[in-house]
Amino acid sequence: MDDGGHTGYNKTRKGLSQGMKALMAAMGFLTVLPAGRSDGFEPRKMIPCFPVAGLIVGLMLALFDVLIGYFWPPLIASLLDVVFLVFITGALHLDGLGDTADGLYGSRPKEKALAIMKDSRMGAMGVVAILVVLAMKWAGLTGLSAQRSLELALVPAYARGGVLFAIKYLPYGRAEGTGRPFFQEPLNFKAFIGFAPVLVISAFLGWTLLLLVCGFAAVLMSVLMFYRRRMGCVTGDMLGAIIELMEAALFLLLAAHWKA
């Protein structure tokens, strides 16, 4: 027997097993699904899996959309799609969006803004921000047509992938918190490997891929520049806000493209 080949096989199997556990943990962290919750909290292993976890959420959304499309017209189906996204994420990112809007609204100093975001109570600006983003998602979803299922699958992947850039380019704004372990070490190129399958599937969009990537880059740069200028850091709530804003903006952008 070739011991070298056997050892290589075992290493490959072990690597695949660890990768699957990390993906399940990422799914458990980003959604209400129970996957990976019993395997401990290992944020550094989860990070590369965020885009793939988003892709799985998107595939579930696309399947849900196809199923309900047999029973309801596009306007109602799109509304139910928005409800599905809220349900599967446990409104975690929406809560972050609301807290971020409350904290960053106005010209409050950094420490005051951080204190407001940590407060479990939600203010008027947070409620307005959530309602506006949900309305934007619904409007965008109603405008998708030719490649609807593919776009539904990809947008959540890009939205969660955007979090990686915030982790890489902005410091964490609190001494402690759920997001702190994600910032312990600088991200290297390997952390972004999860974008590979997302980009491969995106190729099926044809020229729309260019629109999607440019829109992703524009929205991400705008949000990160605002965060840097306004706070000089990022928090878990602000990461959640990136996901919600990215989904709403990309759905709207793709809808506008097909209406043109």
Angle between helices 236-259 and 208-230 (to 10 degrees): 150
Count other Cβ atoms within 10 Å, centred on residue 18.
12
117-156 pLDDT tens trace:
988 888 899 999 999 999 999 999 999 988 999 999 999 9
CA atoms within 13 A of residue 167's CA, in its CB half-sphere? 27
Integer Cα distance of 83 and 173 in angstroms: 31
Where residue 67 falls among pLDDT bands split at 50, 70, 90? very high
Q: How far apart are CA 86 and CA 109, in angstroms?
A: 31
Residue 36 pLDDT > 60, yes or no?
A: no
If pLDDT is split at 50, 70 and 90, which confidence band does 257 have? low
- DSSP letter at 73? -
Residue 108 contacts residue 224 (beta carbons within 8 Å): no
Contacts of 154 (CB under 8 A, 6+ apart): 55, 58, 198, 201, 202, 205, 212
Residue among 152, 168, 183 nearest 220 (CA): 168
Q: pLDDT band at 8, cuts 50/70/90?
A: very low
> Does 15 score more than 50 pLDDT?
no
pLDDT, tens digit, for every residue of 203-236? 999 989 999 999 999 999 999 999 999 999 999 9
**Is 63 a residue whose pLDDT tops 70?**
yes
Model confidence at 1: pLDDT above 70: no
- pTM of the complete model: 0.90
